[in-house]
Structure 1
Amino acid sequence: MTRRRGKKRTNPLIYVALVAASLFAILPLLWGLSTSFKSESATLSDQGWIPAQFTFENYRLVLFESKIPLYLGNTLLVAGLTVIATIVIAIFGAYAAARFRFRGKTTSMFLILMTSMIPGIAILVPLYFLAVSLGLYDTYAVMVIIYTAWQIPTVIWMLKGFFESIPDSIEEAGRVDGASHWRVMVQLIFPLAVPGIAAAAVISFIYVWNDFLIASTMISTDDKRLVAVGLYNYLSQYGVVWGQLTAAVVVTIIPIILVFVLMERRIVAGLSAGATKG
């Protein structure tokens, strides 16, 4: 009886709310997936969720007669370089913030966090003129630099909490064995931080993948467009053709789904461990 009373009863309204939220997020995706397999005439006449007649013509047009594959390649390149640059820079800053004690540490971390709260559109014009002045406008480099600068504060705070969750005894044991501070950091601490690093990398990747503001402002050459802007231009060029629109959306969503499926465990482990401290 004591054990039964000790168990907390879960409110069924919580499950109802979770199911409702899940349906709210999934139903538009399912509608898009269904529409992508319909012909253009069927998108207006066939209102059912299951197409009366399946067709892959929309996917053929998107993959072989549009620039969507080129936009996907551009986005993968920029996102990959951004993730590498962000993690390399932020990992050392987060480690220093978690392990070292120095004057002004709290103020510095607060100021770093404040930079991530500045709306991107507020500094878009100065960034544009700066890119033009430096000769970086309409290049992949300017997007990588801006994305990296905007992601570093958030990633530093994420990894800081993860590093603080790693026991200090591990570093002390390494120093007792004669390992240098650099060796302890690289060979002992960083491998343990892989889940947190993976979670931060995925968040940075998704940020670049979904961005429209910077990608539309800093790039003017169509062949250098990222997928968010390229998808918009593709639609504006051919008009609102719902079958091709939804097929293009499905194609651009697949990489994000694959990233989550392949790194689900590391993402959950990294976010939960980093939330314990910090």
Structure 2
Amino acid sequence: MSDDVMTPQGHTLPEAPIASRRLARAGNQLPTSVRVKRLAEGAVRHLILLVIAVFAIGPLLWAISSAFKSDSEIMTGLNIIPAHPTLQHFRVVLEQSQFVTWFKNSLLVAGGTTLLAIAIGSLGGYAMSRWRFRGHALYGNSLLVVQMFPGVMLAIPLYLLLTKYHLIDTLWALLVTYLTFALAFSVWMLKGYFDGIPKEMEEAALIDGAGRLRILWSIILPLARPGIVSVAVFAFLLAWNEFFFAYVFIASNHNFTLSLGMYSFIEQFSTQWGNIMAAGTLATLPVLVFFFLLQRALTRGMMAGATKG
């Protein structure tokens, strides 16, 4: 027998909302001990999450606050709020170092790596998604094999290769190196998104006379926008924060990136912690802006990846 109910206006209420109200009333009628137990469990969960958040954000907040402290205050306390705020470290970083040059170099390398990772990754991912050519599996697996080895193992081979082409101590050396590690993620990420786009859309465009590149640019890439954003964020952060290869391949101060430039504040007998924290704070701002501009598309991409299949 149906539990549908007739309203005074003659409309029929479905069974589901009635069942929901019944469950809600049943929940309100739970014994007090059960409700107290659920509240306690919720409080414990929130407390654990709060501790994890403080553990993750605490060092970052302390580092930012240290940029506004004097050297003596940095070494004598762990307080988050500076007792006597100062901008001296920012003035030293901006006026007495080549921070602007380092910033420009990092922006060029990170931006170039991001654009090339998207461009080459789109072509490679589209080819792997749509065609089964000779060496298809070898090509895809070789990209993954590169990621299996720690970067330090590839430092000497890359150094010899870049020396042969006279690229050592240039920004091109960093661009080629970072692109090597970004491409594997880019190709496989975009291949996954391209696999989810129906081939019938391309076939219809081919019938209308569109070429493959036009289809990729006008149809495939707009539909794979969340994947492109994910690739952009990964490639940009990889190039922006990398230190090891910059330390190995770059020797001239005017070619330093931000991570390498901040390392120069560590001297033989002392460390300029205030200047490092100020430079780190300034270096974080572009990353935050870049992330917030792409946050919505990145979140959609993560949700699409979680629900795909």
Q: TM-score, normalised by structure 1?
A: 0.89
Name the residue aligned to 2:283. Answer: 252
Q: 1:193 maps to what in 2? A: 224
The aligned residue for residue 91 of structure 2 is 60
Structure 2 equivalent of residue 270 of structure 1:
301
Which residue number in structure 2 is paired with residue 228 of structure 1? Answer: 259
Q: Contact 2:265/2:272 (CA < 8 Å) preserved in 1?
A: no
Offset, 1:242:
2.8
Give matches, 1:151-162, under 5 Å.
Answer: 151-162=182-193
Whether the aligned pair in 2 keeps the contact of 1:138 and 1:219 (CA below 8 Å) is yes
Residue in 1 aligned with 2:11? none
Contact 1:46 1:52 in 2 (8 A): no
What amino acid maps onto 2:70 in structure 1? S
Q: How large is the Cα RMSD of the aligned pairs?
A: 2.6
Percent identity of equivalent pairs: 36
Q: Which of 175, 180, 193 is the equivalent residue of 2:211?
A: 180
Q: Shift in Å at residue 240 of structure 1?
A: 1.8
Q: Which residue of 2 aligns with 1:142?
A: 173
Note closer, same or farther for the CA distance 1:241–1:128 as it changes in structure 2 (3 Å cut): same
1:91 aligns with 2:136: no
**1:46-125 to 2 correspondence within 5 Å?**
47-125=78-156
Q: How far did residue 215 of structure 1 move?
A: 0.5
Change in CA separation of 1:237 and 1:67 when aligned onto 2, cut-off 3 Å: farther
CA–CA distance in structure 1, aligned partners of residues 210 and 276 of structure 2: 57
Aligned match of 1:208: 239
1:171 matched to 2:202? The reply is yes
Of 71, 75, 90 in structure 2, the residue corresponding to residue 40 of structure 1 is 71
**In the superposition, relative to structure 1, how do residues 185 and 57 fare at CA in structure 2: closer, same or farther (>3 Å)?**
same
Matched AA of 1:39: S
Does the Cα contact within 8 Å between 1:159 and 1:274 map onto a contact in 2? no
2: distance between equivalents of 1:116 and 1:131? Answer: 20
Task: Pick closer, same or farther for the CA change 1:130–1:31 going to 2, 3 Å.
Answer: same
- Using the TM superposition, give the Cα deviation of residue 14 of structure 1 relative to its aligned residue in structure 2, in angstroms: 5.2
Q: In structure 1, what residue type is equivalent to 2:116?
A: A
**What is the SS of the residue equivalent to 2:97?**
coil
Q: 1:275 to 1:166 in 2, by over 3 A?
A: farther
* Bigger relative CO (Cα 8 Å, ≥ 6 apart): 1
Ranges in structure 2 where 5+ consecutive residues have no aligned partner: 1-17, 28-37
Larger Rg: 2
Q: Structure 1: where are the runs of 5+ without partners?
A: none
Q: What is the letter of the counterpart of residue 233 of structure 1?
A: S
Q: Which of 105, 116, 126 matches 2:157?
A: 126
Residues 169 and 74 of structure 1: CA distance in aligned 2, closer, same or farther (over 3 Å)? same
Deviating beyond 6 angstroms after TM superposition, the runs of 4 or more aligned structure 1 residues are none
CA deviation after TM superposition for structure 1 residue 187, in Å: 1.2
Query: 1:15 Cα shift?
Result: 4.2
